Structure 1
Amino acid sequence: MQEITPIHFQTTRVLPEYDVFIHTSDGTRIPAHTSILASVSPVLENILDQPRKHRSSERIIQIHGVPSTAATAFVGFLYSSRCSEDEMDKYGIHLLALSHVYNVPQLKQICIKGLSQRLTVENVVDVLQLARLCDAPDLRLRCMKLLTNHFNTVQRTEGWKFLIKHDPWLELDILQFMDESETRKEKLRRHKEEFGLYVELSEAMECLEHICTEGCIDVGPYNVEVGREKKPCKRFSTCQGLQLLIRHFATCKKRVKGGCLRCKRMWQLFRLHSYVCQQNDSCNVPLCRQFQLRMEQEKRKDDPKWKLLAKKVVSAKVMFSLSLPKRKRDEEVRVTIESCGIRHFGYNEYCNNQCVSC
């Protein structure tokens, strides 16, 4: 004899007598109302619209493959549009399947969110299989990420062992996702490294203009006094290194023959500045105007590469500036340093005596 399971529906509506019964796998009969079921689920509406063999026969809907308690929770949601945390803990997987089969989008979204929060290495394979069958891409992605991050542990679960025996296509899909994930991580790592390099170059360009226009602790234009009283710029670590490089460039004897790597690096910074500079004739950086004139007169094969590098440096500067909080963008870094060595770099006199070659 079938058992009738009464349901305490959480609704304020006055309901008529039950006119449909839901039968579950274990013989449980759940009473319901056709008007409620049809208004929430188009699938149930189609089932209820089918003609009965006999007018006197009961309307019956078969819901098999899930526990009767899960079916009861499903019918309860159709009336109240609510699903308790306890029901989600116990029947989340079953409710997701029922919401997909009977096309109840609101319940489906609740189940996807609830199952995403309850993913573990023990149930992730089962949830992934269900997410694929129930067309739940967000839940599938969460499962894939958890599998990728804890693959060694998941491999030891019964769910994984069952999967590799009975669903090789899903196993292949998982392995491909993991491979693509590693590729994406590697691309992201390289992108971060390149972005960091462009940010460093943009800082070097700022420091170069600062040194050649205002002067800093150790190096400055011939008409600007520098020394201990001169405050360091906000990017002192870059600025100090660049000052040392400029001082070396001014006195090095190997650069004439191109035998000094430090001088070559300084020369490249001068050239990069000429591609970034927008000041034209008013720029105080050495060799800037000479490089620009040469660019206008000669079309060198490596010019597109330098222009692209300059574009990326400017872009990185803007992006880095926007990524900082306003208070950090405005604050100045205060450091205390000791000056040493040569105080001035008469770069104007030096540039007038040099020819531009790179």
Structure 2
Amino acid sequence: MSYSMNAPVGFWEWPDVQILTAGERRIPAHSEVLASASPVLESMLDQPRKRGGEERVISILGVPCGAVDAFVRLLYSSRCVPPAAEMGEHGVHLLVLSHVYQVGRLKRACERALASGLTAESVVDLLVLARRCDAPWLHLRCMRVIAEDFAAVELTEAWRFLRDNDPWLELDILQSLRDAHLRQKRRRRKREEQRLYAELSEAMECLQHICTDGCTDVRPSRREAPPRDRAHCPNPTTCRGLQQLIRHLPACNRKKQQQQLGCTRCKRLWQLLRLHASICLHPDPCSVPLCSQFKRKMEQMKAKEEEDDKWGLLAKKVASARVMCHLARRNAVPVVLAEAELAD
């Protein structure tokens, strides 16, 4: 039987290569097809023939005959995509053969097909296979399955065998799972921070809106006209919360504020006012209360920090100079004694 179903009629008429498989079975094939599909087979076919030999023989042993037959048939196919039935029966062997003989399209197709059927029982064996066959895509999918259901994977016979016979690989897998967990925590923390920053940005916008135009029940003290309705509010929910904080401040129990912890709601409003002053770009006077006072205080603190930095740098230089002078005096004493002895 020759695999010439996709070739023009009469183009490949006589197979010139025999593929020897397990069980001494021979599969006829064409050297042009094998060489064009695999660089490894091409290099094997370029070797000189044995003396007196007319027909080339390539041995593919170590895998079942059906897997070799499916492999050769896929080399003749233009798509190199194995059917589902063949993948279920020879998927692992086809991945090994495509890796050994460097058939890239078939290898990628085998990776996708094996990854689609991953289970807790098979994932450890396929992970080891992916590492040995340099299949990073399949390796990544296996690690995801292990991370998602490690409790079930840990109970399988394959994991127990791995733990007893390859502790270094077990340690590598556990370290990879730990790193993936840390990355997931960092991504979750970063998403929470971005959400918090977005909420604070909305709060700053609503605070400027309330202090400038007024909103429902709260309006600037200098405005006598009724405030604008909720339709013009940039964020009704945030505005409602800010208005509650603003109404709470004058009505808060002052004795509670003098306690060690103070009022949390008042502290929250003061923090929002300070944050607004830190990012405010409006010229004075700003419509937000205490904005100018916070700005002046921050400028004074910044000037004090710069002055402290200068004094700190000056102190370091003076201390360094004092050490150098002390070392110079210590070195100068033996020199003076030597000169005195020479004079005597």
Fold equivalence (TM over 0.5)? yes
- Pick closer, same or farther for the CA change 1:227–1:92 going to 2, 3 Å: same
**SS state at 1:239 partner:** helix
**Counterpart in 1 of 2:70?**
73
**Counterpart in 2 of 1:96?**
95
Matched, 1:279 2:278: no
**Counterpart in 2 of 1:127?**
126
Equivalents in 2 of 1:72, 1:60: separation in Å? Answer: 15
- Pick closer, same or farther for the CA change 1:112–1:230 going to 2, 3 Å: closer
The alpha-carbon deviation at position 147 of structure 1 amounts to 1.0
Equivalents in 1 of 2:120, 2:174: separation in Å? Answer: 16
Higher relative contact order (CA 8 A, sep 6+): 1
Count of residues in Structure 1 that have an aligned counterpart in Structure 2: 298
- Pick closer, same or farther for the CA change 1:298–1:72 going to 2, 3 Å: same
- Pick closer, same or farther for the CA change 1:199–1:255 going to 2, 3 Å: farther
**SS state at 2:284 partner:** helix
Pair member with larger Rg: 2
User: Deviation per CA, 1:209-248, whole angstroms, max 9, x where unpaired?
Assistant: 1111111121111215446965472522221121121122
**Would the aligned equivalents of 2:3 and 2:29 in 1 still touch at CA under 8 Å?**
no
**Counterpart in 2 of 1:265?**
268
What is the percentage of aligned positions where both structures have the same residue? 52
In angstroms, what is the RMSD of aligned CA positions? 2.5
**Counterpart in 2 of 1:109?**
108
The one-letter code of the counterpart of 1:146 is: V
**Counterpart in 1 of 2:238?**
238
Equivalents in 1 of 2:86, 2:209: separation in Å? Answer: 66
**Counterpart in 2 of 1:321?**
none
The alpha-carbon deviation at position 77 of structure 1 amounts to 1.4
TM score, norm. by length of structure 1: 0.76
Equivalents in 1 of 2:57, 2:121: separation in Å? Answer: 37
**SS state at 1:280 partner:** coil
More helix by share: 2
**Would the aligned equivalents of 2:19 and 2:27 in 1 still touch at CA under 8 Å?**
yes
User: Deviation per CA, 1:239-268, whole angstroms, max 9, x where unpaired?
Assistant: 112112112223444598584333222111
What are the ranges of 5 or more consecutive residues in structure 1 without an aligned counterpart? 1-5, 304-358
**Counterpart in 2 of 1:200?**
199
- Pick closer, same or farther for the CA change 1:267–1:243 going to 2, 3 Å: same
**SS state at 2:302 partner:** coil
**Would the aligned equivalents of 1:211 and 1:219 in 2 still touch at CA under 8 Å?**
yes
TM score, norm. by length of structure 2: 0.79
Equivalents in 2 of 1:169, 1:10: separation in Å? Answer: 48
**Would the aligned equivalents of 1:215 and 1:224 in 2 still touch at CA under 8 Å?**
no
**SS state at 1:298 partner:** helix
What are the ranges of 5 or more consecutive residues in structure 2 without an aligned counterpart? 307-344
Matched, 1:20 2:23: no
